[in-house]
């Protein structure tokens, strides 16, 4: 949420060797078979050998969750689709670098996993196949929710390229113990920005040598642009003239600056949020019981409860959508992830069957059981919510489904100016965030970034002609 990327997520520190998993052919340790049609040992003509199955290469991130999910998917696919075999190729480390290298070398996998704002440059280069003919042939359009954010993430210039495999929205997670200590009510779906500010300040406290913080900008590091979408957009303004291929940077609006000033600058200055130096020391997060609230996605839940929890026994927590502003809805980041088909694939029909299998209810059950959040809000509620609530011991997993109904993306562009161009390392927004995290006002930090952001957009459109 590719970075996916500019944004530090569960995928950014993937390490290890490339794993290739799939259904392996069975090799019989017997005498060599007779030629087709030749008499067998008993005198009868031997049966012709079965045709080799069509192999579909599908890429995956290099972490263990993806390995678990896709081993299950391809195993089931091989059993239910005669004559087809899916092989998973995991690319640890520089995932998108590996995809680019494979395209350059003419060795791309048939099916490629992408985050919704990362595949468009490949479409611009005519390396991906439109799925529209498959969708129309099989009357499969219902697999894509009629939600603007899903359309933004899966189509490009009027054509459908990406499926929806899994998702990840960022919601507010809160530590029940720190709310109880402060003797204030837990946040509810209709809480306001003023309620949030009150809770931030009341749950910030010191007990002896231990400092507790009301809010942290991300799970265990200082968040950037993606974690702040809601604070910037909750009062009806947008930092660009449009999310998809913007032409105008509009970051200096009062509502945007006010949201950033409090949540990024003032919370640190007033001791309500850990500073970058404090975060680097480790041990200060909601997962360790030192923070009352944090904006995080479903990938963070494992740190809060279960065998991978940051502290023994985990923490008592729950989820809620962010406090509403004048729009009355959740304006958070809502990641959409899915698959595209390489235009160079020679097994496109078989690849499409694999994609349908992943988007089906059976495929989505495997996504949920493997640890990923499902594709649509409906599948999230019916399949993922029961799994997540039981696995991570919290009640309001439905908040994630509701966030997927209204959340959006930061910026989506083609070759030359995608998300990483504006918010990746050393880019204008990263520099601005570093400045705000260290005390520079939002007015000054964003003021420095604004003309640089506009130049990126201008250069993008100049190259496109």
The fraction of the chain above a pLDDT of 70, given in percent, is: 89
pLDDT over 90 (residue 398): yes
User: Sign of dihedral through CA atoms 390, 393, 395, 400?
Assistant: negative
Q: What is the largest CA-CA distance in the chain?
A: 91
pLDDT over 90 (residue 465): no
User: Where exactly are the structural domains of the chain?
Assistant: 20-24+51-168+335-406, 171-320
pLDDT over 50 (residue 7): no
Give the whole-angstrom CA distance, residue 93 versus residue 119. Answer: 18
Please tell me the predicted confidence (pLDDT) of residue 224: 85
Please tell me the predicted confidence (pLDDT) of residue 67: 86
DSSP string, 46-92: PPPPPPPPEEEEEEEESSHHHHHHHHHHHHHHHHHSTTEEEEEEEE-
pLDDT digit string (tens) for 270-304?
Answer: 999 999 989 887 799 999 999 999 999 999 999 99
What is the arithmetic mean of pLDDT over 4-10? 38
Give the whole-angstrom CA distance, residue 389 versus residue 354. Answer: 29
Confidence of residue 44 (pLDDT cuts 50, 70, 90): low
Structure tokens at 128: 């991906």
What is the arithmetic mean of pLDDT over 40-44? 54
Please tell me the predicted confidence (pLDDT) of residue 18: 34
* Fold matches, 20-24+51-168+335-406 and 171-320: yes
The fraction of the chain above a pLDDT of 90, given in percent, is: 80
What predicted TM-score, i.e. pTM, was given to this entire model? 0.88
pLDDT over 50 (residue 402): yes
Of all helices (H) and strands (E), which one includes residue 364? helix 361-370
pLDDT digit string (tens) for 171-210?
Answer: 999 999 999 999 999 999 989 999 999 999 999 999 999 9
pLDDT over 60 (residue 11): no
pLDDT over 70 (residue 3): no
Is the domain spanning 171-320 CATH 3.30.70.260? The answer is no
The rounded Cα 11 to chain-centroid distance in angstroms is 9
CATH T-level assignment (fold) for domain 20-24+51-168+335-406: D-Maltodextrin-Binding Protein; domain 2 (3.40.190)
Average pLDDT, the chain: 90
Instruction: Please tell me which residue, 20 or 304, carries the higher pLDDT value.
Output: 304
pLDDT digit string (tens) for 223-269?
Answer: 789 899 999 999 999 999 999 999 999 999 999 999 999 999 999 99
Please tell me the predicted confidence (pLDDT) of residue 218: 87
Please tell me the predicted confidence (pLDDT) of residue 46: 60
pLDDT over 90 (residue 24): no
Confidence of residue 122 (pLDDT cuts 50, 70, 90): very high
pLDDT digit string (tens) for 54-98?
Answer: 999 999 999 888 888 999 999 999 999 999 999 999 999 899 999
What is the arithmetic mean of pLDDT over 407-435? 91
What is the arithmetic mean of pLDDT over 138-147? 97
Confidence of residue 428 (pLDDT cuts 50, 70, 90): very high
Nearest to 128 by CA among 408, 338, 409: 338
Q: How many helices and strands in the chain, by DSSP H and E? A: 19, 13
pLDDT digit string (tens) for 299-355?
Answer: 999 999 999 999 999 999 999 999 999 999 999 999 999 999 999 999 999 999 999
Nearest to 2 by CA among 147, 126, 131, 121: 121
Give the whole-angstrom CA distance, residue 295 versus residue 216. Answer: 8
pLDDT over 60 (residue 436): yes
Exposed (0-12), middle (13-18) or buried (19+): which is 315, by Cβ within 10 Å? buried
Please give the torsion angle defined by the CA atoms of residues 104, 108, 112 and 117, in that order, rounded to the nearest 10 degrees.
10
Please tell me the predicted confidence (pLDDT) of residue 281: 76
């Amino acid at each position: 949420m590719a970075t996916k990327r500019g944004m530090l997520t569960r995928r950014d520190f993937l390490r290890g060797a490339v794993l290739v998993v799939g259904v392996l052919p069975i090799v019989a340790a017997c005498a060599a078979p007779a030629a087709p049609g030749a008499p067998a040992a008993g005198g009868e003509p031997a049966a012709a050998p079965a045709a080799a199955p069509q192999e579909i290469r599908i890429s995956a991130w290099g972490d263990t969750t993806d390995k678990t999910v896709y081993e299950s998917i391809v195993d089931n696919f091989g059993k239910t689709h005669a004559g087809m075999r899916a092989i998973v190729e995991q690319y640890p480390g520089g995932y998108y670098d590996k995809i680019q290298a494979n395209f350059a070398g003419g060795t791309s996998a048939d099916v490629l996993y992408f985050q919704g704002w990362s595949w468009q440059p490949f479409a611009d280069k005519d390396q991906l196949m439109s799925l529209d003919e498959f969708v129309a042939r099989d009357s499969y359009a219902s697999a894509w929710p009629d939600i603007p954010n899903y359309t933004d993430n899966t189509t490009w210039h009027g054509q459908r390229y990406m499926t929806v495999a899994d998702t990840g929205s960022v919601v507010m997670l809160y530590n029940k113990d720190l709310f109880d200590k402060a003797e204030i009510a837990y946040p509810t779906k209709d809480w306001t920005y003023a309620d949030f500010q009150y809770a931030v300040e009341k749950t910030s406290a010191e007990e002896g040598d231990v400092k507790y913080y009301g809010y942290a900008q991300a799970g265990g590091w200082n968040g950037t642009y993606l974690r702040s979408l809601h604070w910037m957009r909750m009062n009806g303004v947008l930092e660009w003239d449009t999310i998809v291929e913007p032409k105008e940077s509009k970051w200096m609006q009062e509502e945007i600056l006010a949201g950033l000033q409090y949540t990024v600058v003032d919370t640190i200055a007033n001791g309500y949020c850990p500073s970058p130096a404090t975060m680097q020391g480790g041990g200060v997060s909601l997962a360790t019981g030192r923070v009352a609230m944090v904006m995080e996605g479903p990938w963070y839940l494992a740190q809060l409860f279960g065998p991978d929890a940051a502290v023994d026994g985990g923490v008592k927590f729950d989820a809620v959508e962010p406090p509403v502003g004048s729009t009355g809805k959740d304006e958070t980041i809502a990641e959409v992830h899915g698959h595209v088909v390489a235009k160079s694939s020679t097994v496109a029909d078989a690849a499409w069957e694999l994609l349908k299998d992943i988007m089906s209810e059976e495929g989505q059950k495997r996504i949920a059981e493997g640890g990923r959040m499902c594709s649509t809000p409906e599948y999230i509620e019916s399949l993922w919510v029961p799994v997540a609530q039981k696995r991570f011991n919290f009640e309001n997993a439905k908040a994630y489904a509701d966030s997927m109904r209204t959340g959006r993306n930061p910026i989506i562009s083609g070759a030359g100016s995608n998300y990483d161009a504006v918010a990746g390392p050393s880019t204008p927004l990263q520099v601005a965030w570093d400045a705000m995290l260290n005390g520079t006002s939002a007015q000054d930090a964003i003021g420095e970034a604004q003309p640089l952001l506009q130049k990126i957009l201008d250069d993008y459109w100049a190259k496109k002609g």
